[in-house]
Amino acid sequence: MKRIKDKEKYVRLQIKRERHNTKRRLRGRRKQKRIGRILQGKDKRERKNWLRMFREYGDNRIRAPKILSLLNNTEDTVRFLQRINSSWKKRKPVFVVLKEVEQIDHSATTVLLSLIHRFQVANIKFNGDFPQNQEANKILHESQFFERLEYDHPSSRDYTMKRDNQIIGEAGTQTIDPKTALEIREDVSQTITGTSDYVFPTLHPSFIEVMQNTYEHAGEDEGTVHWWLSINHDKNNHSVTFHFIDFGRGIVDSVLNKENNRITKAFKEYAWSLFNSNKFPDIIIRLLNNEHKESKVDYYRGKGIPSLKKALDNNRVKCLSIITNKAVVNVAQNTTSVLQTDFTGTYITWVLNNECEKKIWIKK
């Protein structure tokens, strides 16, 4: 009779185990070597910090591009965002490496703040380091990015962040709080005109349009996707820039999905091939020009996005740009481009300045 350990089945199992253990040992050795190389030349304190971060965030250190801006370096910034978003989907903690960032603007700080909010609401760790470039560091500090990192548990899913009475971040799923809208009016008027006596007729409606767009179209169900609004006051140039972002499905995806729902499966494939990514900006332009028709039942809907274009055409807003899915549309300059990386979400920015139409505000 054969002994158990000589049986063929047992031997096969032993070989398999040994192979697995060897792989694991080698992987561990490679990891140790890699860590050793990284820690080489670092002093004791730096080593300790690095190892603490490594224990918390593992290998998931996502390096930001040197120019962190959705407007000036869209492709690299979107790629960076998508890597962070992919970690969010996998519920992996993220450490954002910002030290090499040389230029950062408010489009990027808005995105970073919205990402922190997204991770914190999902209870996933999110951290980052400081840019070595002083100017970039200053902009990031002013955005309250670092304070936000330390704010571990948001008490509510919706909240407002303020600095010097200026809204720098407001998150929500519904449309804007009326009280906030009134506060914004006063601040915007003060920055642009030097007095708080004016109201810009597109100020409040543009919030309603973009927020309602997120509410109705960004998620599978209505009101499930968070938006984030950031308002940047440029007191030197007397202008106010608005950055609005959501991480929903994106406008193009929403349009295509709707079209596909109304048609048969065979036609669905045709529609997708027809609307390949090169044509994504055309879809946005069609929407802006009100050439996209809603279904016969909802024929009266879908007027929000076109109204932004109308506002631009009638000198009620400036510098309107939209980035969604793979489409980049600078509506103000009438230019479009296609991204290599899919930006799952919608980013809209616009500017109000002294050239925009305004009226006297009569207090109640």
- 299 interacts with another protein by CB under 8 A: yes
Q: Considering the complex, what minimum distance in angstroms separates the CB of residue 158 from another protein?
A: 11
Q: Closest Cα partner for 322 from 180, 236, 214?
A: 214
- 1 interacts with another protein by CB under 8 A: no
- 318 interacts with another protein by CB under 8 A: no
* Binds another protein (CB under 8 A): choice among 174, 237, 276, 354: 174
Contacting residues for 189 by C-beta, under 8 A, at least 6 apart: 195, 196, 197, 198, 199, 200, 358, 361
- 314 interacts with another protein by CB under 8 A: yes
Using CA of residue 85, residue 96, residue 145, residue 351, what is the dihedral sign? negative
Q: Where are the beta strands (DSSP E) in the chain?
A: 61-63, 67-68, 94-97, 103-104, 126-128, 159-163, 166-172, 198-199, 227-234, 239-246, 318-330, 335-353, 359-360
- 338 interacts with another protein by CB under 8 A: no
Q: Considering the complex, what minimum distance in angstroms separates the CB of residue 198 from another protein?
A: 11
* Binds another protein (CB under 8 A): choice among 5, 36, 178, 265: 178
Q: Considering the complex, what minimum distance in angstroms separates the CB of residue 318 from another protein?
A: 17
Q: Tokens representing 364?
A: 């109640």
**Contact range with another protein by CB under 8 A, out of 101-109, 149-157, 209-217, 346-354:** 209-217
- 66 interacts with another protein by CB under 8 A: no
* Binds another protein (CB under 8 A): choice among 215, 227, 280, 350: 215
Residue 282 is classified by DSSP as H
327 phi, psi to nearest 5 deg: -100, 135
Q: Tokens representing 326?
A: 């793979």
Q: How many residues bind another protein (CB under 8 A)?
A: 33
Q: Closest Cα partner for 324 from 290, 347, 292, 350?
A: 347
At position 154, the amino acid (one-letter code) is: P
* Binds another protein (CB under 8 A): choice among 212, 277, 330, 341: 212
Residue 157 is classified by DSSP as S
* Binds another protein (CB under 8 A): choice among 176, 240, 319, 328: 176
- 185 interacts with another protein by CB under 8 A: yes
* Binds another protein (CB under 8 A): choice among 260, 307, 330, 337: 307
Instruction: Name which of residues 221 to 280 contact another protein (CB under 8 A).
Output: 222-223
Dist. CA 286–CA 344, nearest whole Å: 20
Binding residues vs another protein (CB under 8 A): 174-178, 181-182, 185, 199, 201-205, 208-209, 211-212, 215-216, 222-223, 296, 299-301, 303-304, 307, 314, 359, 362, 364
